[in-house]
Structure 1
Amino acid sequence: MQCEASNPQSGEIDVRPVVTRGDLRRFITLPRHIYKGMTGFVSPLDMEQRHLLNPKESPVFRHAEIQYFLAWRDGKPVGRIAAIVDLKAIEHWQEVIGQFGALDALPESPIVSALLQKVEEWLQKRQISKVRGPVTLSGNAETGTMVEGQCSAPMIAIPWHPKGLDEFIRQAGYKKTQDLLSYRLELGDNTEERFKVPGNLKLGEGRLSSITTRNLSKKEITTQGEVLRKLYNDAWSHKYNFVPMQDYEMTAMIEQIKPLLRPEHYVQIDQNGEPVAMAMVLPNLYDIAGDLGGAPSPLGWVRLGYRLATHKFHSARVILLGVTSKLRGTMLGSLLPSLAIVELMRRGHNLPYTWVELGWVLESDTGMRNLAESLVPHPHKRHRLYEKELPPA
Structure 2
Amino acid sequence: MAAEIEIAPVSGKGDLNAFIDCAYRLNADDPNWVPPLRADMVELLTPGKNPFHEHATVQLFLARRRDEVVGRISAHIDELALAQPPEQGMGPGTGNWGLFEAIDETVAAALIARAENWLREQGMTRVLAPISLSIWEEPGLLVRGHDQPPMLLMGHDKAEYQGWVEARGYDTAKRLYTYELDIRGGFPPLIDRIVASGERSSRINVRRVDKRRFAEEAAICIDILNDAWSKNWGFVPFTEAEKAYGAKKLKPLILEGANMIAEVDGEPAAFMLAWPNMNKLVKDFDGKLFPFNWAKLLWWLRNPKQADFRVPLMGVASKYQNSRLASQLAFMMIEYIRRYAVEAHDAERGEVGWILDDNQGMIAIADAIESEINREYRIYEKPLQ
Any residues of structure 2 matched to 1:304-323 within 5 Å, and which? 304-312=297-305, 314-323=307-316
Distance 1:231 1:377, change over 3 A: closer
Q: CA deviation at 1:157?
A: 0.4
Q: Is contact 1:232–1:322 with CA below 8 Å preserved after alignment?
A: yes
**Could you tell me which residue of structure 1 aligns to residue 186 of structure 2?**
191
Asked if 1:104 corresponds to 2:101, the answer is yes
1:154 alignment partner, SS class: coil
Q: Distance in 1 between matches of 2:302 and 2:196?
A: 37
Q: Is contact 1:181–1:362 with CA below 8 Å preserved after alignment?
A: yes
Q: In structure 1, what residue type is equivalent to 2:25? A: H
TM-score by length of 2: 0.92
Distance 1:87 1:27, change over 3 A: same
Distance 1:161 1:270, change over 3 A: same
**Could you tell me which residue of structure 1 aligns to residue 372 of structure 2?**
378
Q: CA deviation at 1:174?
A: 0.8
**Could you tell me which residue of structure 1 aligns to residue 264 of structure 2?**
271
Q: Is contact 1:15–1:72 with CA below 8 Å preserved after alignment?
A: yes
**Could you tell me which residue of structure 2 aligns to residue 56 of structure 1?**
48
Q: Is contact 1:192–1:346 with CA below 8 Å preserved after alignment?
A: no
How many residues of Structure 1 are paired with residues of Structure 2 in the alignment? Answer: 379
Asked if 1:27 corresponds to 2:19, the answer is yes
Q: CA deviation at 1:324?
A: 1.1
Any residues of structure 2 matched to 1:31-46 within 5 Å, and which? 31-46=23-38
Alignment gaps of 5+ in structure 2: none
**1:79 aligned to 49, 53, 71, which one?**
71
**Could you tell me which residue of structure 2 aligns to residue 5 of structure 1?**
none
Any residues of structure 2 matched to 1:147-296 within 5 Å, and which? 147-188=143-184, 190-193=185-188, 196=191, 201-205=196-200, 208-296=201-289
Q: Is contact 1:134–1:386 with CA below 8 Å preserved after alignment?
A: yes
Q: Distance in 2 between matches of 1:318 and 1:31?
A: 26
Task: Tell me which moved more, 292-301 or 30-39.
Answer: 292-301
Q: In structure 1, what residue type is equivalent to 2:180? A: R
Q: Is contact 2:191–2:369 with CA below 8 Å preserved after alignment?
A: no
**Could you tell me which residue of structure 1 aligns to residue 110 of structure 2?**
114
Q: In structure 2, what residue type is equivalent to 1:245? A: F
**Could you tell me which residue of structure 2 aligns to residue 138 of structure 1?**
134
- Residue deviations 1:218-266 (CA, integer Å, cap 9, x gap): 2211111111111001111121111112221121112112122221121
Superposed CA RMSD in Å reads 2.0
1:113 alignment partner, SS class: helix
- Residue deviations 1:323-377 (CA, integer Å, cap 9, x gap): 1111122221233222221122233322232211111011111221122133345
Q: In structure 2, what residue type is equivalent to 1:76? A: E
- Residue deviations 1:10-58 (CA, integer Å, cap 9, x gap): 4322111111111112222321111101242232221232333332321
Q: CA deviation at 1:134?
A: 1.2
Distance 1:213 1:336, change over 3 A: closer
Q: Distance in 1 between matches of 2:48 and 2:21?
A: 16
1:101 alignment partner, SS class: strand
Distance 1:124 1:199, change over 3 A: closer
Q: Distance in 1 between matches of 2:349 and 2:33?
A: 20
Task: Tell me which moved more, 230-239 or 343-352.
Answer: 343-352
Q: Is contact 1:186–1:356 with CA below 8 Å preserved after alignment?
A: yes
- Residue deviations 1:83-125 (CA, integer Å, cap 9, x gap): 111111111235211111212223x221211111111111111
Query: Structure 1 vs Structure 2: percent identity of aligned residues?
Result: 28
Q: Distance in 1 between matches of 2:77 and 2:340?
A: 41
Any residues of structure 2 matched to 1:360-375 within 5 Å, and which? 360-375=354-369
Distance 1:155 1:323, change over 3 A: same
Alignment gaps of 5+ in structure 1: 1-8
TM-score by length of 1: 0.91
Q: Distance in 1 between matches of 2:80 and 2:176?
A: 22
**Could you tell me which residue of structure 1 aligns to residue 9 of structure 2?**
17
Q: Is contact 1:92–1:244 with CA below 8 Å preserved after alignment?
A: no
Q: Distance in 2 between matches of 1:309 and 1:204?
A: 30
Q: CA deviation at 1:301?
A: 3.3
Q: Is contact 2:35–2:283 with CA below 8 Å preserved after alignment?
A: yes
